[in-house]
Amino acid sequence: MIKKIKNSFICEELPNNKLSIKYNKLSKEIIINKKDLFNEDYASLAGMIPDGSLIKDLMRVYFHQKKDLRKIDLFAVLISKLFSPKSTILYKADISGMQCYINSQTLARFMYHILEIPKSDESMRVPNGYLIPIKMLKLLI
């Protein structure tokens, strides 16, 4: 997976097993921890992102919530914890609830190309990395 990231982004190795990632020279970086890639926090974030959360031009990631506004805070916490983005996480109230979003081309492209989260103009699907193999599922039951 790290090889795919390095082939798709401008990367710089950082101390403590971290990797700085940029989509291009002008985009703001995100930082990931290589040893924690695809842990349960990534699965939680992927489960929170409904269809329409990656703008189709891959410039913004957003989350909208009508009922449980604590999920807005959870979304922001997970984005900060997993990616340490240089872009600001913004909040906006609207007529039907609350939005939390970040204008980050690097983060949007990472979520699309690496985490396999669909864009807003694509149908929702479960990313391959989060499916539990049948054999493992049988062991859990």
- Domain edges within the chain: 2-140
pLDDT in tens, 83-106: 999 999 999 998 888 999 999 999
Q: What is the pLDDT of residue 137?
A: 47
Residue 11 belongs to what H/E stretch?
strand 10-14
Mean pLDDT (whole number) for 49-73: 85
Which residues partner with 54 through β-bridges?
A: 61
- DSSP line for 28-54: PPEEEEGGGTT-HHHHHHHHH--TT-B
Kindly report the pTM of this predicted structure.
Answer: 0.83
What does the angle CA 127 – CA 118 – CA 92 come to, to the nearest 5 degrees? Answer: 120
Fold category of 2-140 in CATH: Endonuclease I-creI (3.10.28)
Residue 37 tokens read as 């890639």
Dihedral (C-alpha) 112, 55, 65, 107: value to the nearest 10 degrees? Answer: 40
